[in-house]
A = this chain, B = another copy of it.
Amino acid sequence: MVTGTEGPVGPVAYPASDAAAPTDQVSLRRHNLALVLRQVRDSGSRSRARLATATGLNKATVSSLVAELVDRGLLRDGGTERRGVGRPGQAVELDGTAVCGVGAEVNVDYLAAVALDLGGRVVSEQKIAMDITGLGADAVLDRLVRLVAEVLDDVAAAGGIPVGITVAVPGLVEASEGRVSLAPNLGWREVPVVQSVRERLGGWSLPLLLDNEANLAAIAELASSRASGRRDLLVLFGATGVGGGIVANGQVLRGGRGFAGEVGHITVDPGGMRCGCGRIGCWETVVGLSALMSQVADPDDPVRDPAMDLAERMTELRRRAELHDGRTLRALQRLGSWLGTGAAMLVNVLNPEVLVLGGYFAELGPWLTDAVEQELAPRVVAAGTGGCRVELSTLGFTAAARGGAEVALDRVVSDPTLADRAGVGGAPQPIGGVS
């Protein structure tokens, strides 16, 4: 007969198991190394005994795994930990400084590059204001790679080892091809970003990935709220366009071809304005940066100058709002309402735990949140907006670059055997001729 006939009433997970999980001893070991490393990274310094409890592994196995992770330069022995009545145990902690991931972002108004170490600390952060309209992809990628090279120099100066670079672009990305298929606000179509960056990087031979800006911003938000255990996030990233990054059950939702989260051109105002894309009433026509700018200031107002740093322009708008400038406040109220109108659809579809407002929405967040919530409450079918809270990102305009750095690091976290002690802690070496 079938045992356990009186099962618990629980959420239905389907399918219940993941066929990609380890099937042999080698991959089981690799999986368990990752499990222990992730546990220490996410939950902090702890003894081998507590690691055994947390992971379900036995203590001898944990000791062996920790020894290997120390050997690979990813963990190190920390202070003693006294809990309960037993003998104090020696804690292990993250040796977070050796391994660094790099993320780089192209956006309409700026370029950015960030290096994070395994402990999540910012080793280097570079951002330059740049109106890329009219510049070709070649010129933009030239400048981006110079920025990345500066970040790599900072990593080297800090004694870190770069483990990979992820490039973020606002648009439709064919990640497996390393190509931007369409980025309307950049004016890019079929740009082979990974190949172009690789050629420009010269001696540096690092794993290179490409992803959509909002996906990477969502990854950065997920990483920054790791301790909270959140698994369902919706990130709305405001810049020239509006990017949607979706995390569902702890994973970025990409869809069949990686084009998910394309929220800027859903129709929210069928009788409204024509969008740059040619459609009528796209969400971007009411919540994109230029929609706000046309409401908030006259054309000759310096706050509308795209050559000016976007963060500074936002500072100026905040200043005006704080002075209760009527036009500014009306424009922000309108922006918040439209943001909430569109977000309500997404909350009904996705039921996120948190709606994170990022990019310029976060900069102006204190004047937007109420209006957003006032639209969500009546429009979301589930009571109490299905538990969804509205939060403001604290990651600023480099969120996508940070997410890119996290993705680069995740490769080592998921397979710690990629980190080899011989080189960890040493200076990074340009490696030529590997490709």
Contact = CB atoms under 8 A, between A and B. Distances in A.
Interface residues of A, number: 124
A350 B38 contact: no
Given A58-B24, A260-B351, A382-B259, A35 B19 contact: yes
Could you say which of A56, A211, A256 has the most chain B C-beta atoms within 10 Å of its C-beta? A256
A14 B253 contact: no
A45 interface: no
B378 A279 contact: yes
A239 interface: no
Contacts of A13: 251
Contacts of A266: 344-345, 348-349
Interface in A206-247: 206-211, 215, 219, 222, 231-232, 244, 246
A205 B6 contact: yes
Interface in A39-56: 55-56
A56 B260 contact: no
Given A31-B21, A175-B12, A383-B181, A431 B349 contact: no
Contacts of A413: 15-16
A422 B18 CA distance: 28
A424 B1 CA distance: 5
B21 A22 contact: yes
Contact of A232 (B15, B256, B269): B256
A11 interface: yes
Contact of A207 (B6, B261, B344): B6
A386 B257 contact: yes
A169 to B, nearest CB: 13
A362 interface: no
A90 B415 CA distance: 37
A418 interface: yes
B249 A254 contact: yes
A401 B125 CA distance: 53
A262 B381 contact: yes
Contact of A253 (B163, B249, B353): B249
Contacts of A18: 18, 20-21
A134 interface: no
B381 A277 contact: yes
Given A10-B176, A232-B256, A348-B262, A248 B248 contact: yes
A406 B15 CA distance: 9
A263 interface: yes
22 contacts: A1-B424, A2-B161, A2-B412, A2-B420, A5-B205, A8-B207, A11-B176, A11-B254, A12-B175, A15-B414, A21-B22, A22-B22, A22-B28, A28-B28, A181-B382, A259-B381, A265-B348, A267-B341, A269-B270, A270-B271, A279-B379, A346-B349
